[in-house]
Amino acid sequence: MLVIVAPGQGAQTPGFLTPWLEDPTFAARFDWLATVAGIDLAHYGTEADADTIRDTKIAQPLLVATGLVAALDLFPHPADAFARIGAVAGHSVGELTAAAGARVITAEQAMVLVRERGNAMADAAATTATGMTAVLGGDRDQVLATIERHGLTPANDNGPGQVVAAGTMEQLAAFADDGPEKARLMPLSVAGAFHTSHMAPAVDRLASLARSVSTHDPRTPVISNRDGQVVHDGRDVLRRMVGQIANPVRWDLCLETMSDLGVTGILEMPPAGTLTGIAKRALKGVETFALKTPDQLDAAREFCDKHGEASMIETTPTWRMVVSPAKGTFHLASEAVERDVLAPGTTIGAVASLRDRTDITAPHGGSVVEWLVEDGDLVSPGQPLLRLHPEATS
């Protein structure tokens, strides 16, 4: 089972784009997305120094454009991808790359959103001096307790031994003087406390734009880095990406879901290396492939052929599918099973695990074609629960 992942801000390095732009087709496609964003991304990906491309306004569009165009190189016939990819996920801004790759939004919509996301986050970061510090090692419970004690937010929980604390510079200075035992602290060179309440103004800006964005249900399961759940409603994918700007990235839960799905191979889109490095530590026995340069494309395609299999979500224009967001026990809502037609937003049941309980709705509604589970069944992330035929609207 193959999962494609897209990295977040910090993955970029000076000149990383140079070998990719030697291909005229890649260069032309990249120029189109750069034009949509209104930024000379080719310059920043080839000639700019590390400090310049660290700028949030530049780094975020640069990463998304690179991932989207590289995906077309990896899968020259995009429809072929959906017969191989079991799920997609993105770390922070990488969720926009993943969402566009899953056809939730278009590449052009992704570039407008990421441009405005970068601008809004940079503006929010400028209001107060904030930052982020990586915490490497240490006892997890003690690390989280110390972060909380200093009034900081665990902005990125990336799995075993890697949590990123974020907050004001004063809070981070106190944290550095009184940190968790047996942990190494590494201040990150970022513009602000991303994925914390300090980014609330950026959420407001993106939420306003998102109201005008048309979406489609994903063609392959999207693993949300808000809580690791599989999301199969396009509007919900977009809502989560907007709200996630000011909420922690739970990559640890994404990795847990990948394990629940039975992942055997993880391929990271360029500029790759960060997420595959985390996966090697957290998911023992799972093969990884960090796609860094175009001379790796043939090997990457072989990797996809080796691990690829179609997702459980079949696509057809004649019916819609409601799927499970997580692993657990399915509890059927009695009022739903008694109806032949469900109104949009009807709760059909819930999935309960040891960690939480999540209500499941039929966001689009429709005529019940077939129940695919029964009350009390154990379900996995992305497993189809109910098939619906869309109702005609006047």
pLDDT, position 162: 92
Q: In which residue ranges of the chain is pLDDT below 50? A: 315-317, 393-394
Please state whether beta strands 130-137 and 162-168 pair in parallel, antiparallel, or not at all (unpaired). antiparallel
Predicted pLDDT of residue 393: 46
- Radius of gyration of the chain, Cα coordinates, nearest whole angstrom: 21
Residues classed as catalytic:
92, 195
Q: Which candidate, 245, 99, 50, places its Cα nearest to that of 166?
A: 245
pLDDT given for residue 394 in this prediction: 36
Residue 313: the pLDDT is 63
Q: What was the pLDDT predicted at 191?
A: 82
> Tell me: the pLDDT tens digits for 4-55?
999 999 899 999 999 999 999 999 999 999 999 999 999 999 999 999 999 9
Do 2-124+197-307 and 320-389 fold alike per CATH?
no
For residue 393, what is the DSSP state?
A: -
pLDDT tens readout for residues 322-333 = 999 999 999 999
Architecture field, domain 2-124+197-307: 3-Layer(aba) Sandwich (3.40)
Q: Which H/E stretch holds residue 86?
A: strand 85-90
Q: So where are the chain's domains? A: 2-124+197-307, 127-188, 320-389
- Single pTM value for the model: 0.87
**Contact indicator for 364, 390 with CB cutoff of 8 Å:** yes
DSSP state of 390: P
Core vs surface per residue 153-166: b (16+ CB within 10 A) or e = bbbbbbbebbbbbb
Q: What pLDDT, on the 0 to 100 scale, is given for residue 314? A: 53
Helix (H) or strand (E) holding 255: helix 251-261
Count of CA atoms in the C-beta half-sphere (13 A) of 36: 20
The CATH code for residues 320-389 is: 2.40.50.100
Q: How far is CA 336 from the centre of its chain?
A: 31
Q: Which helix (H) or strand (E) holds 126?
A: helix 107-127
Among 3.30.565.10, 3.40.50.920, 3.30.499.10, 3.30.70.250, name the CATH number for the domain at 127-188. Answer: 3.30.70.250
